Structure 1
Amino acid sequence: MLTGIATCLWSPALASQPWLWSALLIGALLWWRGRAVRWIGALAFGFALAGLHAAHALSLQLPVDWEKREVTVQGRVVELPEHQSRRTAFAFRVSDTSDQPAPLRGRLLQLSWYDDYDGAGTGRDRLLAGQQWQLTARVRAPRGLRNPGGFDSEKRALERRLAASGYVGDPEAARLLAPASGLDAWRESMSSRIAGAVEGGGARFIRALALGDTRGLDDADWQVLRANGLTHLVAISGFHVGLVAGFFALVVAGIWWLWPALGRRCPRPVAAAVAGLAGAMLYAAVAGFALPTVRTVLMIAVVAGLRVFRRSTSTFDSLALAAIAILLVDPLAVLGAGFWLSFFGVAWLLWCLPGAGRRPLRDLVSAQGVATLGLLPLSVVLFGQASLVGPLANLLAVPWWSLVVVPLALLGTALEALGAGLGAWPWQLAAWCFERSWSLFEWLADSDLALWWLAEPAWFAMPLAMLGAFWLLLPRGLPGRPLALLLWLPLLLPARHLPARGEAELRVLDVGQGLSVLVRTAHHSLLYDMGPAMPAGFDAGERVVLPALRALGVGQLDLAVVSHGDNDHAGGFDAVRRAVPVGAAYAPEGAPLVGTRPCVAGRAWQWDGVDFRFLHPPPYFPYLGNEASCVLRIQTAHGTALLTGDIGEVIERDLVRRAELEPATSIRAEVVLVAHHGSASASDPGFIVATGARFALVSNGHGNRFGHPKADVMARWHHAGAETRVTSEGGALTVRLVPGGPAVETRRRAHPRLWDAARRTRQAPAAAPAGLSYRPD
């Protein structure tokens, strides 16, 4: 069943509804009565079930004709709003009433509420979980960036059944309809009480461990947790739910032991199982029924049900039944990393440590070794990283945090629920215990053995590594176990597919409304621009460029070029420079950037048989923003590329004039990065003809407020014989200057996903100018 679900959700397109319903019915029948072919029935049933759930989730998303509309909606704030210095991000469930817009009725929106530019609050500070509001919002269907190593927000939106994202368009018109109420309001109130009762930085972690409220954790905290492999222990994890369930079961079993007569009314194992389930559900409610906790509750419910109905099953059968229960409820859970890590982690431990519990200390050490080996392939594929200090950090954190800090945090929450102020001392003690260990993990995170970033592996690397892990974890004494390490090589040392001598590869990253291009030769790397960065918000350098560099195996940059100082090109520069060694950095003279050398026309160098030359700005050219952009020509034995920054028509005409006077400054190029994101102020007709480009590439944000690229600009390039590619449609663009001429590939076409296909079917092509064909990729 799991294989069928995974096959469906990783397919490039969905089957039609009639086929899915037929496969569901036939699969269910074969699973029930098929005997020898039951496995085919389970596979078909899983495939169809996932397809129907995915189709329903995609149907909830906003239709294309509602894109960018301003709609007035009423609904409830669900989950906990995340307050930042310039905005508040929150989930909003629209009321399911007839007076709400039909495409949004009863659906979940992800909204942002921004302050005015002067920083004055406009009411978002009053936004609390559980409140009911009337808002005017500008919405659009979920849309994300697609890059190597990048987070796939469209997949996340599908998993959450998100209908649209957007922002509050008129904060002044927002109206509070009803005060906070319900479970989320209680969690918000309790989180505020923890913050008031605990002094110092420990409060943010107690809120996370007691309530699953991670809003107080900043990027530095998450970096320490990732470096130590401890993210699974912060917030309410499935492991903590299991501990609470075990505590409740132990307490009830103790009561039955003290009063044996209770066993006449209800057997002790049954009572303990029901109590464990009740404790798990209570703790999941405290966490706001987050997905990891719901999965664990379902697993515990299966085990409790087997106890109640007195069914004897093996631990592996119980695990399989729990997986079936989760997949029947939500087959889209396999899109999340938590599902795979949870079930594979438990399966490895059950197989390798069947008799655990007799020697606690030795079992704890063994469990860390098994989890490290068994889950490393999944961690590398899912996150692109491995923590070398993770086993040691977990060996210390699991018993200390889970058996000391978490019980104290929960005790404080329980006492506070009984009366205001009663929970202060357990919370303070929990924070003190946590802070005693945190400094150690910060020290480990700063060591050279912390995070090991790995390049994006081939599809077959993970199955081979899992087979290698199975081989390594076989009983001692089996000959040939060291040979299993050979099966890990495709995962740990993946092929980087570097260009040969005389060739070059360009990656135009999908950074939204901005620009970032990675240029690689056989032994060198150059980064041209780093995308935008917003105050206390999205930083393309951190969120896009760095993950892409790591996924492509780029550990250092020989050269960085910031075309000019505008935020959409230079915003991510600081984040990149902090994380990656940079040999030298160039920018126009006078640009507001620290630690850069001036890029001057005529400066040239050669790497691995590839020639690089700056064509603009000339010496003593004043810094004029866009017009001072560094223009870089990359010439290989098999073609030339031209990177133009944000220059306008005046500079383009000047480049044409200089090229006519001096052959060394030729602008002939097979691949041209269209200047200024396809703005009407650039792409002069004479310049387009002079380049003779076969491919014109545009880096822009989907639905940007400038309308880039302009239709008439794209028409000019098309009429000149160039094929156009746009990052907002195809994701990151890969250009290879190789024998046979340049080849261009889009990320969405090279790595298709079923939600891409659904998006294309929903989106009708916009009316194109005469002679301009629509090419979404």
Structure 2
Amino acid sequence: MRPAVVASRRSVLPPIPFFGPACAAALLAGVTACLLLPALPPRWLLALLLAGSLPLLGIAALRPAGMLLAGLAFAGLHAGHALDAQLPQASQGQALAVRGRIVELPVHEARRTRFRFEVDDDATQPTALRGKTLQLAWYEDDPQPRLRLRAGSRWAFPVRLRAPRGLRNPGGGDAEKYALASRIAATGFVLEPALAKRLAAPAGIDAWREATSARIAAAVPAPSSRYVRALALGDTRALDDADWARLRAAGLTHLVAISGFHVGLVAGFCAALAAALWWLWPPLCHWLPRPFAAGAGAVLGAFGYALLTGMAVPTLRTAVMIAALVAARWLRRRMRLADTLALGCIVLLLLDPLAVLGAGFWLSFAGVAWLLWCLPEGGGNGAKAVLRGFLAAQAVASLGLLPLTVLLFGQASFVGPIANLAAVPWWSLVVVPLGLLGVLAETLHAGFGQPFWQAAAWCFDLLWPVLARIADSPMAMAWLPESRWYALPLALLSALWLLLPRGLPGRWLALLLWLPLLHPPRELPAQGEAELTVIDVGQGLSVLVRTAHHSLLYDMGPALPDGFDAGERAVVPALHALGVARLDMAVISHGDNDHAGGRQAVAAAFPLPRVLAPRGSPAAGNAFCRTGLHWTWDGVHFRVLHPADGFPYLGNEAACVLRIETARGSALLTGDVGHYVERKLLREDAAHLRSDVVVVPHHGSDGSSDPAFVAATGAKLALVSSGADNRFRHPRPPVVRRWCEAGAEVLDTSRSGAIRVWIGRDGLRLREQRAFHARLWDTVRRRGQTAGLCYAPEFWRP
């Protein structure tokens, strides 16, 4: 009986295939778990885990466990190697001469050009940069010299570099994660553009892409030309912020960049072309059977097109799956679609485990996985069945991907399913093929592509006004606050529950599992309490002050000529992530750009019903910020301490000083006032300077934080808003030492990221963004620079 029992068990529990869905899911789980760690484990431990996983892969029942360990170790070793390749501390800020090639497509802006540069790997180059990829900027008002920066050209110039750094805010992008995923070793700028020398003309695939994009722009003068370039070549440089906002609102961003469906179209065309060639010349079948030739054409077309359009994750994923299907047919093995998807996932992760750091990886694989899970393989024939399958696919994709889009982008498009019903078939089956035919025709002969591109633009313009109206509707999109870690798995479980077969009892109870994602806790202060968030805006200032039912924004960060707008990049995303629905008041402390530059971007997202600014400020408000002005919100008292009526506008010294007082403590926002105003306040209103929390005046400059003023505040927390490695070297060491010796803990946004402080019945509570969301790629944390400039461990950091 024992052999029969063993045979029966084997029939019930078949061996787990090495490239099956279970192993793919385990490998993905291991890679993801590693990249979510706050710090990398020691290399010896990762090597030991990788070696220990290999025996498990040979045992069918333990294969997923082996894949899990292998994924964790493999991703850790890859991440460690990429982090080690970044610019060392000793080379930061130095002037270095480099030589190499421009890769990908340069982005030309009003006063700068951004481009990626691959340094030559030879002995003449700086040791720390040999063979590395840099993200550079060329600053110059005259665009003509910068326009010579072409993809594929070779250059030599002096640069000033630093390791990748970025702002850290709730809801903001993570530049350091992007740099790690892209293997960028350093960022910087061309130090002396006049000394730049072009060594060779553009050459290679990137040069061809840029030249073809320029031909489309010349052939199609209509505004829709920028979309034809994006759909045909993946060149999205001409799309501005307003275009992307509309595409996000309509849920169409996945169609604009080159998608997997585009690769499938090209692969199908190449397969048909190869089959036709074999049909026209039958003797070729003696060398290679026609089905094999068609498969080879599909693989070459898929990978060739993915290479020509920049090798994005969706294109590479589709090309890998096409190759798997062709290989299975050549080997005369039948593969399920789920097995093909699993094989594509495993191959991609083995090629680049850091691909999971990009949103495209999750959206592309999750979308296909949801469709495979929820839709039947055979849907019948006929137009009605095709339409039913298309509608069902849209419903499944919209519901299944909603949790990911909320987590990745902090927003949900409610009109996305409607817009996709029209855009997916029209763009994918009409606009994209016309654009691709134009590319092919232009490659064969210059000028042949023009009618195809013009036809593509005309077809695009037929539908775009309708899609734009949908995107501009008030209910198109909702911004959602940042949620807890458990919100995503609960929402995915809910979506799975809702998509189970009909008739299952209690399906609609699954909607309750969406609540942690769609309505997360906002951690608002209670009645009579206040919360301050010093947003990380670089070298500037922006502070959000919230009471139980009101919000005030004090300053809005800089907007620089090079295109960086802290209002758009930092302040608005942080307000959305923190769940701010409206701003009841804004205060512009004074007219300097580093405090008022982001106003336009903030006002575009949040109407500003009342704006206080000093009299005479170039950044004017609709009411004057003046001494004696006061109001009360939810039991919290606000009082303006400076400037007084009749005080002339003197720039920094005219900055609006605001005191916030609760029953449990107080805070002082000082703008950029210096010693003169500090001493004036000491003489005239010293009692109101006493505060538990002080935003240090003028970013910690030498001309502020008078010793008597520091002592008069009695601050427990002194918060500095400064940019990393700023040219002013703020905060100055003597100023920091002054606050520390007075008994305050000093924190700086360049080290801590955004700083949130609650003033309530529990005293002061503090949260630093970099420590709260610790990531292994964090440049500041890896170099031991995250601790406060002087640290007070008694504060509760939730």
Bin the TM-score by the shorter chain.
over 0.9
* Structure 2 equivalent of residue 587 of structure 1: 613
How far does residue 319 in structure 1 lie from its aligned partner after superposition? 1.1
* Structure 2 equivalent of residue 278 of structure 1: 300
Q: Describe the superposition over 1:332-351 as per-residue Cα deviations: whole angstroms up to 9, x where unpaired.
A: 01111111111110011112
- 8 Å contact from structure 1 (residues 68, 138) kept in 2: yes
Select which of 110, 124, 136 maps to 1:111: 136
Q: How does 1:153-302 map to 2 (within 5 A)?
A: 153-252=175-274, 266-267=288-289, 269-302=291-324
Select which of 108, 116, 120 maps to 1:83: 108
Q: How does 1:53-92 map to 2 (within 5 A)?
A: 53-92=78-117
The answer on 1:509 being equivalent to 2:535 is: yes
* Structure 1 equivalent of residue 658 of structure 2: 632
Taking the aligned partners of 1:528 and 1:99, their CA distance within structure 2 comes to 50
TM-score, scaled relative to structure 1: 0.95
The answer on 1:47 being equivalent to 2:69 is: no
**Range with greater deviation from structure 2 (679-688 or 308-317):** 308-317
SS of the residue 1:582 aligns to = coil
Q: How does 1:487-636 map to 2 (within 5 A)?
A: 487-535=513-561, 537-636=563-662
- 8 Å contact from structure 1 (residues 91, 111) kept in 2: yes
Matched letter for residue 60 of structure 2: R
SS of the residue 1:641 aligns to = strand
How far does residue 404 in structure 1 lie from its aligned partner after superposition? 0.5
Matched letter for residue 602 of structure 1: G
SS of the residue 1:349 aligns to = helix
Taking the aligned partners of 1:256 and 1:181, their CA distance within structure 2 comes to 33
* Structure 2 equivalent of residue 101 of structure 1: 126
Taking the aligned partners of 2:604 and 2:625, their CA distance within structure 1 comes to 22
SS of the residue 1:496 aligns to = coil
Q: How does 1:441-452 map to 2 (within 5 A)?
A: 441-452=467-478
Matched letter for residue 30 of structure 2: G
How far does residue 310 in structure 1 lie from its aligned partner after superposition? 2.3
**Range with greater deviation from structure 2 (401-410 or 310-319):** 310-319
Matched letter for residue 52 of structure 1: L
Taking the aligned partners of 1:467 and 1:269, their CA distance within structure 2 comes to 42
Q: How does 1:122-521 map to 2 (within 5 A)?
A: 123-252=145-274, 266-267=288-289, 269-353=291-375, 354-356=377-379, 358=381, 359-521=385-547
* Structure 1 equivalent of residue 24 of structure 2: none
How far does residue 68 in structure 1 lie from its aligned partner after superposition? 0.9
**Range with greater deviation from structure 2 (105-114 or 235-244):** 235-244
How far does residue 152 in structure 1 lie from its aligned partner after superposition? 0.5
- 8 Å contact from structure 2 (residues 693, 718) kept in 1: yes
How far does residue 271 in structure 1 lie from its aligned partner after superposition? 3.4
Taking the aligned partners of 1:350 and 1:250, their CA distance within structure 2 comes to 26
* Structure 1 equivalent of residue 19 of structure 2: none
Give the paired residue count. Answer: 764
- 8 Å contact from structure 2 (residues 497, 507) kept in 1: yes
Taking the aligned partners of 1:272 and 1:350, their CA distance within structure 2 comes to 26
Instruction: Give unmatched runs, 5+ long, in structure 1.
Output: none
- 8 Å contact from structure 2 (residues 169, 769) kept in 1: yes
How far does residue 312 in structure 1 lie from its aligned partner after superposition? 2.2
Select which of 747, 757, 766 maps to 2:769: 747
- 8 Å contact from structure 1 (residues 63, 762) kept in 2: no
- 8 Å contact from structure 2 (residues 748, 788) kept in 1: no
The answer on 1:716 being equivalent to 2:748 is: no
- 8 Å contact from structure 2 (residues 751, 787) kept in 1: no
Matched letter for residue 622 of structure 1: P
* Structure 2 equivalent of residue 680 of structure 1: 702
Alpha-carbon distance change, 691 to 759 in structure 1, aligned in 2, over 3 angstroms: closer
**Range with greater deviation from structure 2 (211-220 or 695-704):** 211-220
How far does residue 386 in structure 1 lie from its aligned partner after superposition? 1.1
SS of the residue 1:645 aligns to = coil
Q: Describe the superposition over 1:427-465 as per-residue Cα deviations: whole angstroms up to 9, x where unpaired.
A: 111111111111112111111221111111111111111
SS of the residue 1:505 aligns to = strand
Q: Describe the superposition over 1:23-79 as per-residue Cα deviations: whole angstroms up to 9, x where unpaired.
A: 111112212x23332222111100000000000110110001111111100000100
Q: Describe the superposition over 1:580-621 as per-residue Cα deviations: whole angstroms up to 9, x where unpaired.
A: 122311011111124421011111111111111111111111
* Structure 1 equivalent of residue 728 of structure 2: 706
How far does residue 551 in structure 1 lie from its aligned partner after superposition? 0.7
How far does residue 743 in structure 1 lie from its aligned partner after superposition? 2.0
Taking the aligned partners of 2:558 and 2:109, their CA distance within structure 1 comes to 18
Taking the aligned partners of 2:120 and 2:544, their CA distance within structure 1 comes to 46
Taking the aligned partners of 1:343 and 1:333, their CA distance within structure 2 comes to 12
- 8 Å contact from structure 2 (residues 216, 229) kept in 1: yes
TM-score, scaled relative to structure 2: 0.93
The alignment-based identity, stated in percent, is 58
Taking the aligned partners of 1:464 and 1:535, their CA distance within structure 2 comes to 44
Matched letter for residue 462 of structure 1: L
- 8 Å contact from structure 1 (residues 150, 547) kept in 2: yes
**Range with greater deviation from structure 2 (105-114 or 342-351):** 342-351
SS of the residue 1:123 aligns to = helix
Taking the aligned partners of 2:787 and 2:576, their CA distance within structure 1 comes to 36
CA RMSD for the aligned pairs? Answer: 2.0
Alpha-carbon distance change, 381 to 767 in structure 1, aligned in 2, over 3 angstroms: closer
How far does residue 256 in structure 1 lie from its aligned partner after superposition? 6.5
Matched letter for residue 130 of structure 1: G
Taking the aligned partners of 1:133 and 1:620, their CA distance within structure 2 comes to 57
Taking the aligned partners of 1:334 and 1:434, their CA distance within structure 2 comes to 32
Taking the aligned partners of 2:139 and 2:528, their CA distance within structure 1 comes to 49
- 8 Å contact from structure 1 (residues 631, 645) kept in 2: yes
**Range with greater deviation from structure 2 (679-688 or 602-611):** 602-611
SS of the residue 2:648 aligns to = coil
**Range with greater deviation from structure 2 (250-259 or 292-301):** 250-259
Alpha-carbon distance change, 57 to 112 in structure 1, aligned in 2, over 3 angstroms: same
Q: Describe the superposition over 1:304-363 as per-residue Cα deviations: whole angstroms up to 9, x where unpaired.
A: 222222222222122111111110110001111111111110011112222247322221
Q: Describe the superposition over 1:230-282 as per-residue Cα deviations: whole angstroms up to 9, x where unpaired.
A: 11111212221122223333444566678888767645554333222111112
Select which of 647, 652, 670 maps to 2:692: 670
Alpha-carbon distance change, 16 to 379 in structure 1, aligned in 2, over 3 angstroms: same
How far does residue 726 in structure 1 lie from its aligned partner after superposition? 0.4
Taking the aligned partners of 2:85 and 2:119, their CA distance within structure 1 comes to 13
- 8 Å contact from structure 1 (residues 122, 172) kept in 2: no
Taking the aligned partners of 1:669 and 1:275, their CA distance within structure 2 comes to 73
Taking the aligned partners of 1:99 and 1:767, their CA distance within structure 2 comes to 41
Taking the aligned partners of 1:738 and 1:263, their CA distance within structure 2 comes to 81
SS of the residue 1:754 aligns to = coil
Taking the aligned partners of 1:767 and 1:339, their CA distance within structure 2 comes to 36
How far does residue 290 in structure 1 lie from its aligned partner after superposition? 3.1
- 8 Å contact from structure 2 (residues 111, 142) kept in 1: no
- 8 Å contact from structure 2 (residues 85, 132) kept in 1: yes
